[in-house]
Amino acid sequence: MSLRLFIIAVTPAAAIIFGIYLSDRYDREPLKLLIGTFLLGALAVIPSIIVEEFLIKFNVFPSAFGAFYNAFIVAGLTEEYFKRLAILKYPYKTKYFNEKLDGIVYGVFSAMGFATVENIIYVVFTYTNNPYIGLYRGIFSVPAHGVFGITMGYYLSLAKFDADKKRSRKNLLRSLYMPVILHGLFDFILMAEIPQLTILFVPYVVYIWWLNERKLSTFMYDSKNRFIDTKREE
């Protein structure tokens, strides 16, 4: 295994993790919980590969329809389901998930665990002869997983902290299908091999980054206000 390729593979996720960790400046999560979430996200690659290999056998659709199936069902639904499961089974149930920003933090850590393993597979083992694969995935694919994690965590937090049970259930469902939609569109644009659609790829990436930066900013603001209110009460 090439050490240089390994460093290239893990650096994008490490940078995103560091950035999201610094964003949670007022009530940081325990490192043990963050590392555990990251590792569960990484382990989620295993069942994802198994399920994807099974689902892809049912892709009998022609051209763009086949790409749609692969993008939204094989990749999008499978990967986001298991990344979400890692959060629901561990940090979501703990007492440390106590503010809305936490959902995004854990969402990104789970996503980056998954993206790190996936990136190592692609960069270090699968496409070693492609000198640009690490750059491409570092700019687009790994950050995209981070964006899907923000979306997932955003709706998980809305579900957890909403006293309205009906609305909470809706947001819990949104925490799955919204990242699936974003993920599916990202992959479909690349898989469909439609030139007119490919033109939309960079604008789409910019748009989902902008959209999720707003979600992150909103919860960071809430976290700051919660911290200020706590200090006043003291």
* pLDDT tens string 19-73: 999 999 999 999 999 999 999 999 999 999 999 999 999 999 999 999 999 999 9
Q: What is the pLDDT of residue 230?
A: 75
Distance from C-alpha of 111 to C-alpha of 106, rounded to nearest angstrom: 8
* Of the candidate ranges 57-61, 200-204, 220-224, 229-233, the one whose mean pLDDT is the lowest: 229-233
**Domain ranges, residue 66:** 3-225
Q: What is the pLDDT of residues 103-139, one digit of tens each?
A: 999 999 999 999 999 999 999 999 888 889 999 999 9
Structure tokens that stand for 185 in this block: 């569109």
Predicted pLDDT at 228:
85
Average pLDDT rounded to a whole number, residues 198-225 = 96
**Within a domain: residue 233?**
no
Would you say residue 113 lies in a domain?
A: yes
In a domain, 160, yes or no: yes
d(CA 37, CA 107): 9
Give the pTM: 0.95
Domain-embedded: residue 231: no
Has residue 43 been placed in a domain?
yes
**Number of domains the chain is built from:** 1
Q: Is residue 38 part of a domain?
A: yes
Is residue 186 in some structural domain?
yes
Across the chain, mean pLDDT equals 95
Instruction: Specify the pLDDT at position 37.
Output: 98
Only one residue has tokens 């569109």, namely 185
Question: Is 234 domain-assigned?
Answer: no
pLDDT at 232: 75
Distance CA 201, CA 185 (A): 9
